[in-house]
Amino acid sequence: MASDAIHIETGLVAGPVAVTSMSWPGDCGAESIFVGRTRAETHGELGALLRLEYEVYAPMAEKLMDAMARETAEKYDGRAVRMMHANGPVGLGEASVVIQVATPHRGEAFSACRYLIDRLKHELPIWKHEIWEHGRTFVEGCCAHRDTNSQANNSPCVSDDHARRTVSKTSNTEGITT
């Protein structure tokens, strides 16, 4: 497969993201789509969740997203890969991340989608802020990927299931009226 036949689209969007039709490779019979959305939650002290706000180190995230998408295409025989992530506010039920992968057969499409969302969560310099009725918290998920053998950088990643919350020093005065 010639590399120029692969369709890659990655990027950041100032708000919710959406699934769109990809330029369809004729030799593909499967497209797997992952959509990550804001889940409604209630904090014991801060009340109901109003929205998320994503902070992104954009120049680095954009470079990594393109590299990840290309590596995924190579690894899973993907002919089209699309990965978009929000950079800004995302309301309840709205999508913060969309991944679409087209492959000749379904097995690779499912695997590629899972591989890409897992890498995104471990590597991309993106931070989730939770805006509650009565305050803000930072979500501290994964200790970021290290591509080095330096002794100081061998700590394991924290599972997404064990993400921690740090209450922001900044009070959320706007949230109460939103």
Partner 1 sequence: MEVKILMFAVLAEQFGGSSLLVEVAEGATVADAIEIMTDGEESKKKWLSPDRVAVAVNQSYCGRDRVLVAGDEIALIPPVSGG
Residues found near partner 1 in the complex (CB under 8 A): 36, 54-57, 59-61, 63, 85, 96-97, 117, 120-129, 138-150, 152-153, 155, 158, 163-164, 166, 168-170
CA atoms within 13 A on the CB side of 157: 15
* Beta carbon nearer to partner 1, 79 or 136: 136
* Beta carbon nearer to partner 1, 43 or 129: 129
Sign of CA dihedral 76, 86, 168, 131: negative
Alpha-carbon gap, residue 8 to 107, rounded angstroms: 20
* Beta carbon nearer to partner 1, 50 or 98: 98
Spatial contact of 49 and 42, defined as CB atoms under 8 Å apart: yes
Shortest separation between residue 14's beta carbon and partner 1, angstroms = 15
Shortest separation between residue 26's beta carbon and partner 1, angstroms = 31
Shortest separation between residue 136's beta carbon and partner 1, angstroms = 10
Q: Token pair 């089209």 is at which residue?
A: 80
Shortest separation between residue 44's beta carbon and partner 1, angstroms = 20
Spatial contact of 127 and 54, defined as CB atoms under 8 Å apart: yes
Please give the structure tokens belonging to residue 113.
């989608």
Look at residues 157, 81, 67, 72 and name the one whose alpha carbon lies nearest to residue 121.
157
* Beta carbon nearer to partner 1, 64 or 102: 64
